[in-house]
């Protein structure tokens, strides 16, 4: 009953208005939007970083290959999102420009944390400025720099954390439970993909198929953004069966 009372009193009318118990209701609504988004998983593996997402094809007339849910920020950095994907696209394009500016200015690749901080700063700004609304999206950002593999998660509040493995979206509870039980620090990318497939199959059930999935890896060896081809995905799925 308490949240309803807050709404009636207008504490959710503006992003800059705190409720009496210290909550920013518009930010909480944005976080609920993320929990309704498609499931996305990120893992730090011993040989690189892995991002796996459900593309959630809602219309059979849509071309599955044209739906992009994992974005390339630079050769060595990738991001995926859950929530309002158009919000994610704006943040990703900002990150792409920042990465290229860094290359031109310093003649070296940008570090993953700098990208994460820039995105998080903009998200946070939108929680304390009148006339704006929060970004209704969480991002998983993974990168490989030197011999180090990193994975970060940012949410609509602008906070960020570094993870060994993380999940966002509608399947968060089920997948997180599985990651806590089965994720190990010495997993290879191949083993990570198998674990991700197992987790997504649990969430999607009969809807689990190659057309709905997108997998991107960046290995320590080549530090290159690589999207797994559809036939490779099909092999993992048939292997699971």
Domain count within the chain: 1
CATH of the domain at 149: 3.60.20.10
> Is the separation of the CB atoms in 218 and 78 below 8 Å?
yes
Q: State the 10-residue block means of pLDDT for the chain, 241 residues long.
A: 61 87 92 96 97 92 91 98 97 98 97 98 94 95 94 97 98 96 96 96 90 95 94 82 48
> Which are the contacts of 151, defined by CB distance < 8 A and separation ≥ 6?
42, 43, 44, 49, 140, 141, 142, 162, 163, 164, 165, 166
Task: Report how far residue 85's alpha carbon sits from residue 90's, in angstroms, rounded to the nearest whole number.
Answer: 9
Domain range holding 153?
A: 2-240
Ramachandran category for residue 71: left, alpha or beta (phi over 0 → left; psi -120 to 50 → alpha)? beta
> Is the separation of the CB atoms in 26 and 133 below 8 Å?
yes
């Amino acid at each position: 009953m308490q949240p309803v009372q807050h709404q009636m009193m207008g504490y959710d009318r503006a992003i800059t208005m705190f409720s009496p118990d210290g909550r920013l209701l518009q930010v909480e609504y944005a976080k609920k939007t993320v929990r309704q988004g498609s499931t996305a998983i990120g893992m730090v593996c011993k040989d690189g970083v892995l991002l796996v997402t459900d593309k959630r094809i809602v219309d059979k007339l849509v071309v599955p290959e044209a739906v992009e849910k994992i974005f390339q920020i630079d050769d060595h950095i990738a991001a995926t999102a859950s929530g309002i994907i158009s919000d994610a696209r704006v943040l990703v394009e900002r990150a792409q420009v920042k990465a290229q500016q860094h290359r031109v200015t310093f003649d070296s690749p940008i570090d993953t944390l700098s990208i994460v901080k820039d995105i998080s700063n903009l998200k946070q700004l939108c929680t304390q400025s009148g006339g704006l609304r929060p970004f209704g999206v969480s991002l998983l950002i993974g990168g490989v720099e030197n011999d180090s593999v990193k994975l970060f998660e940012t949410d609509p509040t602008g906070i960020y954390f570094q993870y060994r493995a993380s999940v966002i979206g509608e399947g968060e509870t089920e997948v997180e439970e599985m990651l806590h039980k089965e994720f190990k620090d010495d997993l290879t990318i191949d083993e990570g993909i198998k674990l991700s497939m197992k987790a997504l199959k649990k969430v999607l059930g009969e809807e689990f198929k190659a057309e709905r999935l997108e997998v991107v890896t960046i290995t320590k060896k080549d530090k290159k953004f690589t999207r797994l081809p559809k036939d490779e995905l099909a092999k993992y799925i048939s292997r699971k069966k």
